[in-house]
Amino acid sequence: MTAKSPFTYRFEAGAQAEAPPLLLLHGTGGDENDLLQLGQMMSSGSALLSPRGRVLENGMPRFFRRFSEGRFDEEDVRYRAVELGDFVSYARDRYGIGAPIAVGFSNGANIAAALLLTRPETLAGAVLLRAMVPLSDPPAVDLDGKPVLILSGRQDPIVPADNARRLSTILSKAGAKVDHQILPTGHQLSQTDIALARTWLADVALASGRQKHAVSAC
């Protein structure tokens, strides 16, 4: 923890300028170390910014409060999204990185979706692993083609299939470029998740590089 940030976090500098920085957001009970290896596997060379959720549920870190499984404290969701967005702005200034792509699992995916819907300027895109709709009445935002990958599990006992589809629809209607894939698995991550996210992130980095090249050539 630093004097200027309320979050305990890890930062690893990137080794490749073209690799997008990643904001790693763990699930319930995780911490700032949980997804570092996953981030490296998904996008080697990316800068990694990994905060620990500041809400405790029975001693387990989370990114926002909930009333029960699948029932979120939406006032807290909004507050924590602002708090996390401020942290990302702080980290970008401190480490000189661009807007990151969020890679969130479960509770971390939900707060990443909340960031897209409340602070869209915070993220360049998102990989949402086993995500749910975080806000029943999200504000009107323009996601302006931001790339979003949603990976859901067909046998997921925590995330109802219709809820994941609704999240995809909400983000698409807000202007995001959404790729929603449903995998033959449950709530836990699989090697397929890693492979799909790695390919998707590489494609996003390539598209971003082409866009920058086109702009510089004008």
Q: Is the pLDDT of residue 186 over 90?
A: yes
Average pLDDT, the chain: 94
**pLDDT, tens digit, for every residue of 76-110?**
999 999 999 999 999 999 999 999 999 999 999 99
Active-site residue (options: 5, 76, 187, 208):
187
Active-site residue (options: 43, 46, 106, 152):
106
Assess whether 213 carries a catalytic annotation: no
Assess whether 50 carries a catalytic annotation: no
d(CA 136, CA 148): 19
Which has the closest alpha carbon to 61: 74, 52, 73, 69? 52
**pLDDT, tens digit, for every residue of 104-143?**
999 999 999 999 999 999 999 999 999 999 999 999 999 9
The structure tokens listed for 173 are: 């209607």
* Phi, psi dihedral angles at 89 (to 5 degrees): -60, -40
**pLDDT, tens digit, for every residue of 11-20?**
999 999 889 9
DSSP E strands in the chain: the ranges are 9-12, 22-25, 48-51, 55-57, 60-62, 66-68, 71-72, 101-105, 125-129, 147-153, 177-183
Question: Within the chain, what is the greatest distance between any pair of CA atoms?
Answer: 56
Assess whether 89 carries a catalytic annotation: no
Cα R_g (the chain), whole angstroms: 16
Active-site residue (options: 156, 168, 180, 193):
156
What domains lie within the chain, and their CATH numbers? 9-217 (3.40.50.1820)
Q: Is the pLDDT of residue 37 over 50?
A: yes
Which has the closest alpha carbon to 135: 160, 110, 168, 100? 110
**pLDDT, tens digit, for every residue of 59-85?**
999 999 999 988 999 999 999 999 999
Entry pTM: 0.94
pLDDT of residue 61: 98
